[in-house]
Amino acid sequence: MAGVERAVRLTAWVRGRVQGVGFRWWTRARALELGLVGSASNLRDGRVEVNAEGPESSCRALLTALRSGDTPGQVDSIVERWSEARGGLTGFVER
């Protein structure tokens, strides 16, 4: 089918000052604007794990936003992993 973009899953581990600063809320707002589903979760080691599924271009736009310097707090680095969308997700939640 021409013109239909394949769905992908982006997992991004964001390191920096990203907990307790509104980072997950900000990430959720950007993801919803882009029509993505998934979650943003605080990890015990201080990172935030972002899981997003949807069209590849939208996932790439979210990753660009995370790296933009416009986020709350401060992003020092992001490790990303790309995979096939698993499906079964609705909305975008903060955990």
Q: Are β-strands 74-84 and 48-55 bridged in parallel, bridged antiparallel, or unpaired?
A: unpaired
Q: How far apart are CA 91 and CA 80, in angstroms?
A: 21
Contacting residues for 8 by C-beta, under 8 A, at least 6 apart: 53, 54, 55, 56, 59, 82, 83, 84, 85
Q: Which residue numbers are catalytic? A: 24, 42
Tokens of residue 16, six digits? 């920096």
